[in-house]
Amino acid sequence: MSATSGYHDTKDDLLKRLRRIEGQVRGLQRMVEEEAYCIDVLTQVSAATKALQSVAVALLEEHLRHCVTDAAAQGGDEAERLVTEASQAIERLVRS
């Protein structure tokens, strides 16, 4: 494992997306405060959820591309361990 993360190259893009999601969540607070129509609030909750899941898929892709394939290229048990760990993360993601 190096000092940088698997998503080092896409870090700026991930941060930009997370800041946009923070803005969406603050927008949701304003809507609820002003008692916007339930269905309109729900539409925005769905949009924020989708945006979060896209971040998750992007993170997972970078993790597979760097951490998992690097471990596999080096051989040994580490790749095996990382695949089990990644699968559990995918399961949590699918269930959420």
Q: Is residue 43 involved in binding its own copies (CB under 8 A)?
A: yes
Closest to 6 in 3D by CA, of 58, 53, 49, 66: 66
Residue 63 CB, shortest distance to its own copies, in Å, is 4
Residue 85 CB, shortest distance to its own copies, in Å, is 6
- Contacts to its own copies from residues 58-87, by CB under 8 A: 59-65, 67-70, 72-73, 75, 79-80, 83-87
Report d(CA 41, CA 39) in Å as an integer. 5
Q: Is residue 29 involved in binding its own copies (CB under 8 A)?
A: yes
Torsion of CA 43, 47, 52, 57, to 10 degrees: 120
